[in-house]
A = this chain, B = another copy of it.
């Protein structure tokens, strides 16, 4: 549970940055090299690499080196982690809505008696 919580911390933290979100978006169209990914950003390569490593450490991307080229691939399972969290929140609300619904129904019945 603590490990899952730490994983969620990282998954969300990774998305709290515009450069990292842009990289995730670009990799949604298919794998790309570090050079291709860095091209649109006015950023020194070491700074850009920090973002790549952060995305890799938090499970958003995997990287693979062939010769001198490192290729990055999106790991879609991180989206599942978010979806699972979101659907957990939705069931909390639905539970609440159900209870509210029952409350309204019961009160309506009592009033009509």
Contact = CB atoms under 8 A, between A and B. Distances in A.
Contacts of A8: 15-16, 18, 21
Nearest to A9: B16
What interface size band does chain A fall in?
Answer: 20 to 34
Interface of A: 5, 8-10, 12-13, 15-18, 21, 24-25, 28-30, 76, 79, 82-83, 85-86, 88-89, 92-93, 95-96
A40 B11 CA distance: 24
Contacts of A16: 8-10, 12-13, 16
A78 to B, nearest CB: 10
B18 A5 contact: yes
A92 B13 contact: no
Nearest to A76: B93
